[in-house]
Amino acid sequence: MPSSDAPSTLHLYNTLTKHEEEFHPMKEGEVTMYTCGPTVYGRPHIGNYSSFLMADLLRRWLQVSGYKVKHVKNITDVGHLVADRDEGEDKVEKQAKAEQVDPLTIARKYEEQYREDELSLGILEPFARPRATETIREMIAIIAALLKKGYAYETGDGIYFSVEKFPRYGALSGNTLENLSAGARVEVKEEKHHPADFALWKKCVGENSRHLLRWSYPEGERISTTGEDASAGFPGWHIECSAMSTKFLGSQIDLHTGGEDNIFPHHECEIAQSEAASGLRPFVRIWVHRRRIDLGAKKMSKSLGNVFTLPDIVSKGYSPLDLRYYFLSVHYRTQLKFAWKGMDDARKARRRVMEWMHETETWLPQEGGKNAEGVRDPWMQKFADVMRSDLNTPAALAVLFDFLSWSRLNKASLSASGLEAVHSFAQMVRETFGCFEEEAREEIPADILALVAQREEARKAKDFVGSDALRGKIRARGFEVRDLPEGPKVERL
Ligand SMILES: [Zn+2]
């Protein structure tokens, strides 16, 4: 039964205000949402996808609730330096050197892998996927506005944002200028006014004289020459997201998502730049962050070398949608400790739900049985209530499993409208979670498909011995073939 204090509007935990807030978009019925996308210098690991999955869940729930969602998700293909700092190598250029190709080849290669992964994880296509390298002029326009308003200043090696000019700096992450100065590394060459000042633009001088991706300032023309050149440069990582969100969604947006690692410095800097440049506040109504994924006792991180990619998961016999279920079965503000046992449980649970969904298609209505209210009010309402309560997915799945048992017990006493409500509930669950789809997207290896085709030919020729032998071969490779009216269907065992 729905509890009496259940929220009727969506409540989300706002990282900025540190409490749950009622969500109302600026424009009725429409939501603007920005998600920090990947830096494309390697195939993202599964931990990276946990925050993209959280953003996708939020978007799906808003859509199920009747909102139109304008979702933008960027591609960072320049300017993200190692360790998220202002000095050091550009992640994309470092990888380009390692693979001995040019940086944009690297960026496009890993962008493609990332998009393949997103597709197999059931992540919906955003309204726009802007690339940083294609939004340079918009970044320069914001930098120019910040210089003009006195929030930024130029040094020998770049243009920096002055954090002392922005009193709210630190509000998102809880940092203060004092503790940031105390923790800062002392660097003699620094011309920065404050150790926490961050780069908006880096000039191609000194350690950056070898930077390949570069543009003229302030024209924003791509430059192909290399070497020391103070008139050429590249953007800082943070300004990219301020520019890309403004370009597609305007100066103020409803929702901004990311992983908790993005809170500082990245999102803290985005707020400072965007609000200082536009003079509008707040830049973002609600900040939503996914807690990180750990592997055992350690943070899952590329630099620690303890990461798995989606192909690793698939090669172990799981569907990408098992991973999706696993990540979404834990509340997004809970730190998840990844374990293979969790993947096994997710696979089983997901199959149970899908079997139930198939089963409900065969149920027949009973005259005089329970009608729609008997399903909608207690069950769909309860599911919606827990989802509105800061996207409480574990509670939503608990409601779903209770409903599985209830509906099986009551299947013989459902009227036509009651049965229709069961199907609507299943559809709402499908659209919200996005992981109860058939495995159509799972890649079946080519040699297995060849065996299936051979078996089909054997069957057509009524060679049942040969066909059974081939089925055995397919099984031995971990796949099951089922003969359906529309043709053979292959699945992992
Ligand atoms: Zn970002």
Question: How do residues 7-42 score in pLDDT, each as one tens digit?
Answer: 689 999 999 999 999 999 999 999 999 999 999 988
Give 363's Cβ-side CA count (13 Å radius). Answer: 26
Average confidence (pLDDT) over 184-189: 58
Residue 189 confidence class, pLDDT cut points 50, 70, 90? low
Q: How far apart are the CA of 52 and the centre of ligand 1, in A?
A: 12
Q: How far apart are the CA of 159 and the centre of ligand 1, in A?
A: 19
Q: How far apart are the CA of 261 and the centre of ligand 1, in A?
A: 11
pLDDT at 3 over 50: no
If we measure between CA atoms, which residue out of 79, 85, 91 comes closest to residue 184? 85
Average confidence (pLDDT) over 54-83: 94
Q: How far apart are the CA of 238 and the centre of ligand 1, in A?
A: 6
pTM for this prediction: 0.87
Distance (Å, rounded) from C-alpha 332 to C-alpha 58? 10
Q: How far apart are the CA of 36 and the centre of ligand 1, in A?
A: 4
Q: How far apart are the CA of 251 and the centre of ligand 1, in A?
A: 15
Q: How far apart are the CA of 266 and the centre of ligand 1, in A?
A: 6
Average confidence (pLDDT) over 278-301: 90
Which residues lie at CB < 5 A from ion ligand 1? 36, 241
Q: How far apart are the CA of 339 and the centre of ligand 1, in A?
A: 29
Q: How far apart are the CA of 161 and the centre of ligand 1, in A?
A: 17
Give 280's Cβ-side CA count (13 Å radius). Answer: 10
pLDDT at 223 over 90: yes
Distance (Å, rounded) from C-alpha 434 to C-alpha 426? 11
Task: Specify the length of the chain in residues.
Answer: 493
Strand order across the 152-154 sheet: 152-154, 158-161, 198-204, 229-235, 214-216, 222-223
Q: How far apart are the CA of 291 and the centre of ligand 1, in A?
A: 16
pLDDT at 2: 38
Q: How far apart are the CA of 80 and the centre of ligand 1, in A?
A: 10
pLDDT at 185: 63
Residue 221 confidence class, pLDDT cut points 50, 70, 90? very high
Q: How far apart are the CA of 267 and the centre of ligand 1, in A?
A: 7
Q: How far apart are the CA of 235 and the centre of ligand 1, in A?
A: 13
Mean pLDDT over each residue of the chain, to the nearest integer = 92
pLDDT at 354 over 60: yes
Residue 438 confidence class, pLDDT cut points 50, 70, 90? confident
Residue 84 confidence class, pLDDT cut points 50, 70, 90? confident
Q: How far apart are the CA of 396 and the centre of ligand 1, in A?
A: 30
For the chain, domain boundaries: 11-304, 316-440, 444-492
Which one-letter amino acid corresponds to residue 193?
A: H
Average confidence (pLDDT) over 207-219: 94
pLDDT at 143: 98
pLDDT at 116: 95
Residue 186 confidence class, pLDDT cut points 50, 70, 90? low
Domain 11-304 has CATH 3.40.50.620: yes
pLDDT at 439: 62
